[in-house]
């Protein structure tokens, strides 16, 4: 893609990127958004894989970003396997449907693999992530933390020999309460939240 630059996020990007992420996810999965707070938390979380987190610029403007952080697969016998979680990945509304998100994924997956990680795990749209080689966690024997298999739990194998079976627990940065989110979101311009039929139940 012409004029697309993928580069490490810098401190001067932090606030503009949080606004971008908020705009990208507003009312998508639930009323309002939480992903901008997640990005804010990940930057100071020791589990964040900073060498695999990048910003994208298109036409001289901040266009998107991608973040990874270590999570855990708990396996029978008490073994715990650290695996990167992909997410969030965000593209500014003005630049969506132009391949920015795909470029960010294709740029970073080889870096995650080169770092020696056995797989990448995420919760996301199977139709979208399948094009990058992700498959249902069930194929690898990987369930969500509640022990159930869900189509949105997706795995990309980086080490074909790795045992990925067990239960997947997202890292601590992915968990926060509504009060924390509300306090952080109060720093942003007020915006009306909407309940939409396309949102997650």
Residue 49 DSSP SS3: coil
Which two tokens mark 142?
């990987």
Query: Which residue segments constitute the domains of the chain, with CATH numbers given?
Result: 4-171 (3.40.630.30)
Residue 15 DSSP SS3: helix
Residue 2 confidence (pLDDT)? 74
Q: Give pTM, 2 decimals.
A: 0.94
pLDDT bracket for residue 77 (50, 70, 90) = confident
Which helix H or strand E contains 180, and what residues bound it? helix 178-185
Cis ω before 88 (30° cut-off from 0)? yes
User: What average pLDDT score do residues 84-93 get?
Assistant: 97
User: What average pLDDT score do residues 127-146 get?
Assistant: 97
Residue 200 confidence (pLDDT)? 78
How confident is the model over 10-64, as pLDDT tens digits? 999 999 999 999 999 999 989 999 999 999 999 999 999 999 999 999 999 999 9
Query: In sequence order, which ranges of 14-72 are alpha helices (DSSP H)?
Result: 14-25, 35-42
User: What average pLDDT score do residues 107-129 get?
Assistant: 97
pLDDT at residue 187 greater than cutoff 90: yes
Residue 76 confidence (pLDDT)? 87
């Amino acid at each position: 893609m012409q004029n697309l630059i993928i580069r490490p996020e810098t401190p001067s990007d932090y606030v503009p990127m949080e606004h971008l992420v908020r705009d990208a996810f507003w009312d998508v999965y639930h009323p309002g958004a939480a992903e901008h707070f997640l990005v804010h938390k990940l930057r100071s979380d020791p589990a964040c894989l900073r060498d695999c987190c990048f910003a994208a610029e298109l036409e001289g403007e901040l266009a998107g970003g991608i973040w990874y952080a270590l999570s855990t697969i708990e396996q029978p016998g008490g073994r715990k396997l650290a695996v990167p979680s992909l997410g969030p990945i965000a593209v500014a509304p003005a630049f969506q449907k132009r391949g920015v998100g795909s470029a960010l994924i294709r740029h970073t997956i080889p870096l995650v693999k080169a770092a020696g990680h056995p797989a990448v795990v995420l919760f996301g749209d199977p139709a979208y992530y399948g094009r990058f080689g992700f498959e249902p966690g069930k194929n690898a024997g990987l369930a969500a933390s509640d022990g159930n298999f869900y189509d949105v739990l997706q795995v990309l194998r980086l080490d074909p020999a790795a045992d990925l079976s067990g239960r997947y627990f997202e890292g601590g940065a992915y968990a926060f309460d509504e009060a924390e989110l509300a306090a952080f979101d109060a720093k942003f311009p007020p915006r009306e939240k909407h309940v939409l039929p396309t949102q997650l139940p």
